[in-house]
Structures are given as structure tokens and as C-alpha cells.
């Protein structure tokens, strides 16, 4: 009897050790793995290759002078050097000639040249007949004007007349009357240095004795560059000739041809001469182009005709070869 009770207890113990299905932990749900989508790098594009221009340019004009440096140069100059007739300089009793200031700034300065008649008789003159020159270190050089109207003006006793000279760096002369002015004169392309201004006239309406009110003065500051005008829109190399073009109707076109030479020049141009005219500004700066023998500017016929007139003013006898910096060339204007 005792043995049956023990055997009956064994299944109960085994059942307690096994446990029920409710106590078995649930398997953990796993998150499905995602495979990263491969990224494709954007295609690389090479920057476009820029074609170098078919020309070189001469370096910019480095000239720069302070007011003190210009004043020192003025001390060595005298207004009697400016004219061939008797000069009337500042300090004369009959005509009071003054220039103010003695040195002006190229950036915003204006020089006033005044002639006051202190005599008892009329001073007859031509207010358009002024002359602006620059001293190049050895001699005085003509800068402007190009053409002079010939009316007659008078300065009565006690009266005066003033010319105002204002530099405008970017201005170029388009016609022979570009600088025609009897009072306010705007001049393009001026650089620093010593200048002279003069007019001519005579006392009394019947006198034949010419005299010239004159004075020297200066401009200080930095020279504008010798560079082509803003109107140039195409430059191309045609063999040994560089062709420079600007906008101009076909029926109004003219040409300026610069032919380079290895000979010595007959005369040299100042930067002020070159900067005056589109025909020179649009040819000479390209003289540094390797292998080029000629530079042809195709532009307005006014740009072409004014080159001839201006160079005739500089050298009335005419010259064959001009020099500018290290370059020598012949200038031909072709209408």
C-alpha cells in the first residue's frame, strides 16, 4: 500500500518540473535588414578650355608724379620758351597773366588761365586760338588743339578772360573741332608733368605787333593707361596682320594701318599723343603681339581722318616713321 502512494507522487513531481506552455517565452521578432542602395556619383565635366586671345598688349603707362615732383620740374621752365613772338608772362604790368593752381590733380583738377587787361587800350585776340603744350624733358610738344576757328575777340581795359583746362582721361578726339573752345577746354589722355598754355593778340586795333600771354603749370597724379577704346569688339590674327574692329556702318568706315619697322624713328610720340586718338589707341597697344608686322584698325572714317590731321599738326613737314616706347612704325590712314 505504501509503495503505490510513492509511485503516485512521482508523476506529480515531474509535472511540476516541466512547467506549462504559457510560461515559455515567445521568440523575439527580428527587423528585416535593408540593403543600402548604391549611389551613383554625378558625372564630372571638365571646364571649357579658354582660347587665348590672338594678341598681346604693351604694358600700362606706369607714369606717376606727386605735386611736389611737378613743382620741382616747373622751377626749371619759363613761359618765354613756349612761343616765338614776345611772351607776356605772369608779372607783366599791361596784361596780368595768372594760372591757378600752379599744379592740379589729374583726377579732378581744373587749371584756370586768366588774362586781365590793365592797359589803356583794347587787347585784340582770338579766344579759340590757344595752344597747349607739354615738356617732354628736352623740348615742348604740341598737344592741342587740332583746328582753330578765326573770329576776332577783344579784352577791353579793365576786363579779363579765363580759359579753364580740365583733363578727362577717357576722352578721344573724333573730329578736327574736338577741342574747339573759347572758355572751357576738356582734354583727353593727359598724363602728369609740365605743361604750357598760351594765346596771342595785339594791343589796339591797328597794331601789327603780336604778343603772347603765356604761363607754365603742371598736372600731378597717375597717368591713364595706353589701351584700346571701349568700342573695340573684335580682334583677329590674319597671318602677320592683326585686324582690330569697332562698330561702324560700312559706308562710314575708315582704316588706320600701323606697319612695324626695325629702323630708327624720325620722331617719337608721347603717351598724350597716342591717348588722344582712337586710331592710335586701337593699333599701337597691340604692337607687342609676337610675329605681327601690321596692325589694321577698321572703324569710323572720322577716327581715320583725324589721325592724318593730328600728325600733320605735330610734324608739319611730315615724317615717315614714328616711335613709341620700343616700337617703331609707319602710320597710314586709309579712307
Q: What tens digit of pLDDT does each residue of 255-287 get?
A: 999 999 999 999 999 999 999 999 999 999 999
CATH numbers and ranges of domains, the chain:
64-222 (2.60.40.10), 232-334 (no CATH)
Q: Can you name the residues that pair with 154 across neighbouring β-strands?
A: 124
How much is the pLDDT for 100? 97
| 333 burial type by CB count under 10 A (0-12 exposed, 13-18 middle, 19+ buried) | buried
Please name which of 64, 99, 67, 58 lies closest in space to residue 82, comparing C-alpha atoms. Answer: 99
Instruction: Give 167-221 pLDDT, tens digit per residue.
Output: 998 888 888 788 889 999 999 999 999 999 999 999 987 778 999 999 999 999 9
How much is the pLDDT for 37? 52
**The model scores a pTM over 0.85:** no
Q: From residue 85, give the alpha-carbon distance in Å to each of 8, 56, 123, 167, 198.
A: 157, 46, 16, 27, 11
Please name which of 111, 237, 118 lies closest in space to residue 185, comparing C-alpha atoms. Answer: 111
Instruction: Give 106-155 pLDDT, tens digit per residue.
Output: 999 999 999 999 999 999 999 999 999 999 999 999 999 987 888 899 99
**In angstroms, rounded to a whole number, what is the distance separating the alpha carbons of residues 61 and 42?**
48
In contact, 248 and 302? CB cutoff 8 Å:
no
Amino acid at each position: 500500500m505504501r509503495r503505490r502512494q510513492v509511485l503516485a507522487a512521482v508523476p506529480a513531481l515531474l509535472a511540476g518540473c516541466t512547467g506549462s506552455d504559457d510560461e515559455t517565452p515567445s521568440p523575439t521578432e527580428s527587423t528585416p535588414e535593408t540593403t543600402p542602395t548604391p549611389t551613383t556619383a554625378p558625372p564630372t565635366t571638365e571646364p571649357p578650355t579658354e582660347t587665348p586671345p590672338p594678341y598681346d598688349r604693351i604694358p600700362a603707362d606706369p607714369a606717376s608724379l606727386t605735386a611736389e615732383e611737378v613743382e620741382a620740374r616747373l622751377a626749371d621752365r619759363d613761359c618765354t620758351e613756349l612761343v616765338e613772338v614776345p611772351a607776356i608772362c605772369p608779372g607783366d604790368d599791361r596784361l596780368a597773366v595768372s594760372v591757378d593752381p600752379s599744379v592740379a590733380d589729374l583726377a579732378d583738377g581744373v587749371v584756370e588761365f586768366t588774362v586781365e587787361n590793365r592797359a589803356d587800350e583794347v587787347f585784340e585776340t582770338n579766344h579759340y586760338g590757344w595752344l597747349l603744350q607739354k615738356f617732354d624733358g628736352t623740348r615742348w610738344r604740341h598737344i592741342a588743339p587740332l583746328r582753330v576757328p578765326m573770329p576776332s575777340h577783344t579784352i577791353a581795359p579793365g576786363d579779363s578772360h579765363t580759359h579753364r583746362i580740365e583733363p578727362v582721361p577717357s576722352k578721344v578726339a573724333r573730329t578736327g573741332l574736338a577741342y574747339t573752345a573759347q572758355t572751357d577746354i576738356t582734354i583727353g589722355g593727359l598724363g602728369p608733368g609740365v605743361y604750357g598754355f598760351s594765346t596771342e593778340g595785339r594791343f589796339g586795333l591797328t597794331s601789327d605787333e603780336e604778343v603772347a600771354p603765356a604761363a607754365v603749370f603742371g598736372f600731378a597724379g597717375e597717368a591713364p593707361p595706353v589701351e584700346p577704346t571701349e568700342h573695340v569688339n573684335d580682334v583677329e590674327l590674319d597671318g602677320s596682320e592683326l585686324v582690330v574692329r569697332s562698330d561702324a556702318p560700312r559706308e562710314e568706315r575708315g582704316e588706320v594701318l600701323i606697319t612695324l619697322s626695325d629702323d630708327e624713328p624720325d620722331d617719337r610720340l608721347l603717351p598724350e599723343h597716342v591717348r588722344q586718338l582712337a586710331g592710335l589707341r586701337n593699333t599701337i597697344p597691340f604692337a607687342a603681339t609676337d610675329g605681327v608686322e601690321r596692325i589694321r584698325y577698321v572703324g569710323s572714317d572720322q577716327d581715320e581722318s583725324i589721325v592724318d590731321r593730328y600728325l600733320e599738326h605735330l610734324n608739319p613737314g611730315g615724317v615717315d616713321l614714328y616711335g613709341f616706347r620700343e616700337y617703331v612704325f609707319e602710320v597710314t590712314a586709309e579712307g
